[in-house]
Amino acid sequence: MDISVVFQIAAVGILVAVLNQVLTRAGREEQAMITTLAGLLVVLFWVIRYVSELFVEVQVIFNL
Amino acid sequence: MYLQLLGAAVVVGGAAALGFHYAARESARLLDLLELKKALLILSSEIDYMRTPLPTAAANIGKRTERWVGPFFSQFGEALGANDGETAYQLWARVLGQVDDAALTEEDVKVIDGFGKTLGYLDKQMQQNAIDYAVRYIDETAAALQVQAEKSKKMYRSLGVIGGLFLAVVLW
């Protein structure tokens, strides 16, 4: 597994948190929520591969 | 690696520039509206004290105002002078449609367009009322903008920079 994806996810987390703060302060709660959702989707898109790998691994280990 | 860094820098720089552009636009709208108010006040005086015909009044206003308002009134005055059967409103709407350097919202344009409909219609009093109405709209919008402008400017700037960083991380 490539370790750099962890740092990328961390960076996205920090940036989304700051964006959220900036938008909330400006009274744009809706956009703030959309940004958070977008960040979540981007990260999910990145990790979905590893999640599916994990499931396959579990299946193999327990002979399911 | 260096190429990737360069690309990331370009993305961040571009997004930040976009943010600063929008921040600058925020104050540009206020200045544009205030310039229009100046033009309307001149028009009001031209009608009230000098009784200037509209083409001459528009040309005078064009000389005395700046930003988009100056060229707009100059063109409108010229169009009125060279009129070939169109109403004042048709000319006003056409010249207004050609304006492309004003930082106005759709609502602003609608009010300005609506003001054009009263041009050259009925009497002096009616014209003054229309000017008063437009000036009141500008005053109210400008007051709201002044309160909001600082906040929005800060927001657009940070949104630009942080959005750029976000994009760079996603594309890395």
Cβ-based contacts of B170 with chain A (< 8 Å): 12, 42
- Report for A54-63, B46-55, B137-146: range of highest mean pLDDT: A54-63
Q: How many CB atoms lie within 10 A of CB B143?
A: 10
Q: Classify residue B67: in a domain, yes or no.
A: yes
The CA distance from B139 to the nearest CA of chain A, in Å, is 23
Q: Classify residue B12: in a domain, yes or no.
A: no
CB-CB under 8 Å, A22 with B155: yes
CB-CB under 8 Å, A12 with B155: no
Asked if A32 has any chain B CB less than 8 Å from its own CB, the reply is no
Count of domains observed in chain B: 1
CB-CB under 8 Å, A25 with B169: no
pLDDT above 80 (res B55): no
The confidence band for B137, taking pLDDT boundaries of 50, 70 and 90, is confident
Cβ-based contacts of B152 with chain A (< 8 Å): 26
Residue of A nearest to B150 (CA): A26
The torsion region of residue B120 among left (phi > 0), alpha (psi -120 to 50) and beta comes to left
Write out chain A's pLDDT in tens, 64 residues.
688 889 889 999 999 999 899 888 888 889 899 999 999 999 999 899 999 999 999 999 998 7
ipTM higher than threshold 0.90: no
Cβ-based contacts of A13 with chain B (< 8 Å): none
The CA distance from B155 to the nearest CA of chain A, in Å, is 6
Indicate the residue type of B69.
V
Q: Give the pLDDT of residue B172.
A: 80
Counting one residue from A and one from B, how many pairs have CB atoms under 8 Å apart?
35
Q: Any residues with CB less than 8 A from the CB of B73 and at least 6 apart, and which? A: B39, B58, B59, B61, B62, B65
Which letter does DSSP use for residue A26 in this model?
T
Of A8, A22, A26, the CB nearest to B169: A8
Domain that holds residue B132: 31-149
CA dist B65 to A50, B106, B148, Å? 64, 22, 26
Count of domains observed in chain A: 1
Residue A14 CA to residue B15 CA, distance in Å, equals: 18
- Report percent pLDDT > 70 for chain B: 99
CB-CB under 8 Å, B155 with A42: no
DSSP element (H, E) containing B29: helix B2-45
Q: What is the mean pLDDT of chain B?
A: 81
Domain that holds residue A32: 4-61
CB-CB under 8 Å, B169 with A15: yes
Q: Classify residue B14: in a domain, yes or no.
A: no
Indicate the residue type of B136.
R
Tens-digit pLDDT profile for residues B117-127: 777 677 777 78
Q: Classify residue B104: in a domain, yes or no.
A: yes
User: Residue A31, SS3?
Assistant: helix
Cβ-based contacts of A26 with chain B (< 8 Å): 151-152, 154-155
Reported pTM: 0.63
Q: Which residue has the higher pLDDT, A52 or B30?
A: A52
Alpha helices in B46-123 (DSSP H): 54-64, 69-81, 88-98, 106-117
Q: Classify residue B87: in a domain, yes or no.
A: yes
Asked if A26 has any chain B CB less than 8 Å from its own CB, the reply is yes
List b or e across A7-31, with b for residues whose CB sees 16 or more CB atoms inside 10 angstroms: ebbebbeebbeebbebbeebebeeb
Q: Classify residue B111: in a domain, yes or no.
A: yes
